[in-house]
Amino acid sequence: MTATTAPTAPPHRVAIIGAGPTGCYTAQALRKMMPTAEITVLDASPLPYGLLRNGIAPDHQGMKSVSRQYDRVFTAGGVRFVGGVRLGEHLMPQDLAAFDGVVLATGLERDRMPAVPIDPAARVIGAGRILRLLNGDPRLAGDPLGALGEDLVVTGTGNVAVDLLRLVAKTDAELAGSDIVDDARDRLALGAVRSVTVLGRGARSAARWDEAMMTELCALSSVHVTIDGEVVAGDPSARVRIDIRFDQPLAAVEAEGGSTVVRTTTGSTFRGDALITALGFVSAVDDLIEETERVLPVVVRAGGSSTGALGNLAQNRIAAKDAAARIVALLASDDRLPRDLPSPAAALARGWTCFEDWQSLDRIERERAGAHRCRRKLTSESEIRSALATSGAVLPQLDVRTA
């Protein structure tokens, strides 16, 4: 009698949608839990690291240095980066059937707007949009946003609001060593801002900013900061006057005589050239997430797409480990025989970049850094592709069945 050998299932293929901190931490955790898995991390941006590159303030380079840890995720083998592939445009949910499991780490990239009546003529700008412009997010290339104005109103008392205040107030010398995009800084005319009124919805004790970040802001020479009328930092002659008011929930945002007028439930009125919202973020791809969950059998949400909050890097890591453990458990319960999964090569080949491209671009950005900057970023897809062509990079066709 001839012995028969049971068929061996091939390595699991896992797609992670989103190459930000949560996506990278998920790939790292999955690699440890499933050493033989073939992991592909896809992102709408042609460059990796999402929030780390495009959302964290450009003067906080210490936080951004964690990218070196993410680099090792992609250089150690078994994990590949595919950039410039947007779910719903270049890749549809059903195309992900080429993978055994999918982790949705799409993050939250849209600024949350106030849930109050807003006059369409009022100038309302998301703080996240401003930070992404100052960080050179290539997906915002061509964004028409211009000078913010001299007098601003900000709603929100979290770290994003403090980031914005600090970047408005810092001098050229104080931005030394950052990777702020100077063209965007000039276009937004941050140096022309003279006053910022910050409105908190709740009491002072409910402020969500880190005290260390507020201390950093108050230490700047160019600010005069008051909280509910109490002077906490600076001289009245400082370039930027920051007036923080608590217990001022918004009631309406109107346009009047060229100004944006903010009315609160206390009956107070605040005028400025623009209202900047720093109220957190929401998903821009909810419909696609739900469609992916509907058409595929093994799908797990991770990070912001699951919790509705961005979280800090430590929280991202915890969320990623949880998502990795869930996807491993789901795949372990799949007693499948070997099968020839379809390849999404045709869908992915349009406009994608790989990790080797990012390594070339990282070097190019650092080499072209001007005085007092750690890098000069490539801020559009055309710039990125031109730089890659100059570097001699060749973009091969993608097949997920090749390592």
Residue 370 pLDDT level (bands cut at 50, 70, 90): confident
**pLDDT tens per residue, range 219-239:** 999 999 999 999 999 999 999
Q: Note whether residue 133 is domain-resident.
A: yes
DSSP letter, residue 107: -
Residues 78, 146 within the same domain: no
Concatenated DSSP letters of 348-383: HTTT-B-HHHHHHHHHHHHHT--TTBS-----SHHH
Q: Note whether residue 8 is domain-resident.
A: no
Residues 190, 202 within the same domain: yes
Residues 45, 147 within the same domain: no
DSSP letter, residue 190: G
Count the Cβ atoms, other than its own, within 10 Å of residue 180: 21
> Domain of 364: which CATH number?
3.40.50.720
DSSP letter, residue 353: B
Are the C-beta atoms of residues 280 and 112 closer than 8 Å to each other?
yes
Reply yes or no on whether the pLDDT at 398 is more than 60: no
Residues 185, 196 within the same domain: yes
Which residues are CB-neighbours of 369 under 8 A, at least 6 positions away? 179, 375, 376
Residues 79, 135 within the same domain: no
Residues 169, 254 within the same domain: yes
Q: Note whether residue 397 is domain-resident.
A: no
What pLDDT is recorded for position 399?
A: 41
Are the C-beta atoms of residues 130 and 164 closer than 8 Å to each other?
yes
User: What's the whole-model pTM score?
Assistant: 0.92
Count the Cβ atoms, other than its own, within 10 Å of residue 347: 18
Reply yes or no on whether the pLDDT at 65 is more than 50: yes
Q: What tokens appear for 77 in the block?
A: 């083998």
Residues 124, 162 within the same domain: yes
Q: Note whether residue 160 is domain-resident.
A: yes
Residues 104, 115 within the same domain: no
Return the closest-CA partner of residue 348 out of 74, 42, 7: 42
The domain in which residue 28 lies consists of 13-109+283-391
Residues 20, 70 within the same domain: yes
Residues 290, 276 within the same domain: no
**pLDDT tens per residue, range 143-173:** 999 999 999 999 999 999 999 999 999 999 9
> Domain of 134: which CATH number?
3.50.50.60
Count structural domains, the chain.
2
Provide the 3-class DSSP secondary structure of residue 104. Answer: strand
Question: Any bridge partners for residue 155, and if so which?
Answer: 199, 277
Residues 273, 297 within the same domain: no
- Mean per-residue pLDDT, 318-344: 80
Whole-angstrom distance, CA of residue 224 vs CA of residue 195 = 9
The dihedral sign for the CA sequence 216, 217, 218, 222: positive
Residues 305, 248 within the same domain: no
Q: Note whether residue 337 is domain-resident.
A: yes
- Mean per-residue pLDDT, 36-64: 94
**pLDDT tens per residue, range 82-103:** 999 999 988 899 999 999 999 9
**H-run or E-run covering 80:** strand 79-83
Q: Note whether residue 403 is domain-resident.
A: no
Q: Which of 281, 314, 340 is at the close of a domain?
A: 281
